[in-house]
């Protein structure tokens, strides 16, 4: 959330951000309701001042044994009017809050201006694309041949958009999770958390999923709880309504969770196999940092995610997202995309974002720079470290052999009983 005073004083910057992000916030209505709020506040404060002054007069009249009934009757009316105004003020402030929740974050000046994905900019690439002397199979074909994917039974269990690894495929997925958590906790300094996969409405509002993306979420209506779309939600809310000590920062957290999203694809586009799914596993990275270091922390966050792909030997590229492809809440974002030989495409496996104080303001997460200093909002960042489905796609497709087997990346072998190749069973 942006500060209302900032919006008021920088309306042109905010309007430009709304336009460049393709959002639909109504600043004119916001300013109108803000003016009403300020007028109500002024009237309430004036009446309260009159009431306080008159109360002193009444007390003095009573002390002097004089008649105060007229003033008391007047103050009864004043108190009634204050009560009415307070009620109006609460309604206006609720309206203001609702509008404020539709105003997106301001893109960082380094973010390229653009309309959508086609305007994202590749800033670096790593690794060589696989050179296969045969026509590579897509992962859904090879996975079912080797009995490591069971897509038909997943559909039977839960419907379209759901997938299932099985046997050595499930072992491969578990190996990836443990490998990534070990790297992030032992090498990169993140604290592992195993959070709930249900979150309350306040948590979803704090991170910016609500109200904008409520339709995309799986909701348990009876309890007003949401299946998390990413571990960003519980991890960012760990310190909601807290004042952190400056010496505690930066704080790094990581978590493995299932993630749930109702809108998994764009009207049938790229929906085969593991490409776009409603439920998937992911290792998430979240940082709470001091404001002055947040963009340096974003660069190191990207490097942490990149190292996973490098250790796996997966070629990838890093793209900085343009304004039109930037999320509602982010100030700046990098996407990491692995190349997969079977589908001959780059596939996003991580988005690393700096939200600056946007989420922290919603969640009321602050730090005190000095022991007696006024608290200020921290900056929050998150990124996938990394998401499983498309990483699995790249491993299956890039490391396949002409014999129809899959070479297991060396770093995963200790997690798989030293299995070095996945071939036909039996």
Active site residues: 261, 276, 348, 351, 390
CB distance 408 to 421 below 8 Å: yes
Sheet holding 225-227, edge to edge: 198-200, 225-227, 219-220
Residue appearing with tokens 């490409």:
275
CA nearest 314: which of 387, 265, 403?
387
Residues 32, 351: Cα–Cα separation, whole Å:
37
Residues 176, 189: Cα–Cα separation, whole Å:
18
State both tokens at 245. Answer: 């000590």
Residues 160, 264: Cα–Cα separation, whole Å:
10
Report which DSSP code applies to 190. P
- Strand, coil or helix: what is 380? strand
The reply to whether omega before 250 is within 30° of 0 (cis) is yes
Residues 8, 282: Cα–Cα separation, whole Å:
39
Residues 308, 293: Cα–Cα separation, whole Å:
23
CB distance 367 to 389 below 8 Å: no
Residue appearing with tokens 């790593």:
126
State both tokens at 320. Answer: 């900085």
Residues 14, 304: Cα–Cα separation, whole Å:
32
The reply to whether omega before 211 is within 30° of 0 (cis) is yes
Helices (H) and strands (E) counted in the chain, each on its own, are 12, 16
């Amino acid at each position: 959330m942006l500060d209302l005073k900032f919006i008021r004083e920088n309306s042109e910057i905010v309007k430009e951000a709304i336009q460049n992000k393709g959002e639909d916030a109504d600043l004119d209505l916001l300013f109108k309701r803000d003016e009403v709020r300020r007028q109500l506040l002024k009237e309430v404060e004036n009446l309260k001042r009159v009431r306080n002054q008159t109360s002193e007069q009444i007390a003095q009249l009573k002390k002097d044994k004089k008649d105060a009934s007229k003033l008391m009757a007047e103050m009864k009316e004043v108190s009634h009017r204050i009560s009415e105004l307070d009620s109006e003020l609460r309604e206006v402030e609720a309206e203001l809050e609702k509008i404020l929740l539709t105003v997106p974050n301001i893109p960082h000046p380094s973010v390229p201006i653009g309309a959508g994905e086609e305007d994202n900019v590749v800033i670096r690439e790593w690794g060589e694309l696989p050179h296969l002397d045969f026509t590579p199979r897509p992962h859904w074909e090879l996975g079912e041949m080797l009995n490591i994917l069971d897509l038909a039974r997943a559909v039977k269990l839960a419907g379209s958009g759901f997938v299932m690894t099985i046997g050595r495929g499930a072992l491969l997925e578990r190996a990836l999770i443990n490998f990534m958590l070990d790297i992030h906790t032992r090498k990169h300094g993140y604290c592992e958390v195993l959070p709930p996969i249900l979150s309350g409405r306040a948590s979803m509002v704090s991170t910016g999923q609500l109200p904008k993306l409520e339709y995309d979420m799986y909701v348990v209506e009876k309890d007003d709880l949401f299946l998390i779309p990413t571990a960003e939600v519980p991890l960012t809310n760990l310190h909601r309504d807290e004042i952190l000590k400056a010496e505690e920062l930066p704080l790094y957290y990581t978590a493995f969770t299932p993630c749930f999203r109702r809108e998994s694809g764009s009207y049938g586009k790229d929906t085969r196999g593991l490409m776009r799914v409603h439920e998937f596993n992911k290792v998430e990275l979240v940082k709470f940092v001091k404001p002055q270091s947040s963009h340096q922390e974003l660069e190191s966050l990207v490097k942490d995610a990149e190292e996973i792909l490098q250790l796996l030997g997966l070629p990838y590229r890093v793209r900085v997202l343009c304004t039109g492809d930037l999320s509602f809440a982010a100030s700046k974002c990098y996407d990491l995309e692995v190349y997969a030989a079977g589908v001959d495409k780059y596939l996003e496996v991580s988005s690393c974002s700096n939200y600056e104080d946007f989420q922290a303001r919603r969640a009321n997460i602050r730090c005190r720079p000095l022991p007696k200093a006024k608290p200020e909002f921290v900056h929050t960042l998150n990124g996938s470290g990394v998401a499983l489905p498309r990483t699995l796609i790249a491993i299956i497709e890039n490391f396949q052999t002409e014999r129809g087997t899959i070479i297991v990346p060396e770093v995963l072998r200790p997690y798989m009983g030293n299995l070095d190749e996945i071939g036909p069973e039996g």
